[in-house]
Amino acid sequence: MFQQSDDTASSQPGPNAAREARSDAARREVADYLNFLDGLDNTNEQGWHTIFQHTLQAFQEDPTREGHLRLALVMSRADRKSTEPGVTRNMLTDARKLLNDAMHNPDPPPALVRKFIQLQVNDIDRRVALYDELRSLRSQLAKAHQANQTASRDRTEALTRVRRIEAELAEANAKLQAVMNIERNIGPTGKETFP
């Protein structure tokens, strides 16, 4: 999709040559971004942080459309390279904003670069949706765990009450049995007889 083609622009005169030159430049730009992404994907967390700091500094010194894109691409990999969940979600949101800013820049990017940016935005949107779903599932799991703990605690309390009632019932039965034994031993005269 983003392969470079043979350079035929020099053999075609006029507007076609200019259009081909712009198209080739756009393909090279997208190829550069893909190579940059490949490098990001093949680095570890510390390397990602170093690249992020360098790219941020370069963008702050010269805020070009290319700088916007590079910074957005680095930030779009935060969820894959950083271990801080809140920071990575925020970086994905910020990366999406930077990508949109780059796409709607007063100096609009070539069509191929816009397509590349849109693919990145769509990828970020899918990942953010997955993170939202994961957060929702974790919340549901926590609630289910809490309900399970509450039910377990309630079961334990109920079993304790049942044991206490059984002990009280056994004690009451023992007293009743003692009273019945005493009543059997009382004779018709009302005097107690002992065997």
Q: pLDDT, tens digit, for every residue of 136-183?
A: 999 999 999 999 999 889 899 998 999 999 999 899 889 888 888 888
Tell me what pLDDT residue 194 has: 60
Q: Are 37 and 29 in contact (CB under 8 A)?
A: no
User: pTM of the full predicted structure?
Assistant: 0.65
Tell me what pLDDT residue 9 has: 46
User: What tens digit of pLDDT does each residue of 4-37 get?
Assistant: 555 544 454 567 887 888 888 889 999 999 999 9
Q: How many CA atoms are closer than 13 Å to the CA of 73, on its beta-carbon side?
A: 24
What percent of the chain has a predicted confidence (pLDDT) above 70? 85
Tell me what pLDDT residue 118 has: 93
CA of 123: how far to CAs of 21, 70, 76, 168, in Å? 29, 16, 9, 66
pLDDT range class, residue 86, cuts 50, 70, 90:
low
Q: Are 128 and 93 in contact (CB under 8 A)?
A: yes
Query: What string of H, E and C letters represents the secondary structure of 34-95?
Result: HHHHHHHHCCCHHHHHHHHHHHHHHHHHCCCHHHHHHHHHHHHCHHHHCCCHHHHHHHHHHH
Please determine, for residue 75, whether its predicted confidence score (pLDDT) is greater than 50: yes
Please determine, for residue 78, whether its predicted confidence score (pLDDT) is greater than 50: yes
Burial class (CB in 10 A: 0-12, 13-18, 19+), 100: middle
- What the block records as the tokens of 101 is 């800013």
Please determine, for residue 81, whether its predicted confidence score (pLDDT) is greater than 90: no
Tell me what pLDDT residue 88 has: 74
- What the block records as the tokens of 172 is 């009451």
**Average pLDDT, integer, range 132-139:** 90
pLDDT range class, residue 126, cuts 50, 70, 90:
very high
Please, what sign has the CA dihedral across residues 102, 108, 109, 114? positive
What's the helix, strand, coil split of the chain in %, to 5? 80, 0, 20
pLDDT range class, residue 2, cuts 50, 70, 90:
low
- The overall average pLDDT reported for the chain is 83
Partnered with residue 192 across adjacent β-strands are 186
Q: What ranges do the domains of the chain cover?
A: 13-140
Residue type, 38: D
Contacts of 2 (CB under 8 A, 6+ apart): 27, 30, 31, 34, 112, 116
Tell me what pLDDT residue 184 has: 80
Taking the C-alpha atoms of residue 139 and residue 145, their distance in angstroms, rounded to an integer, is 10
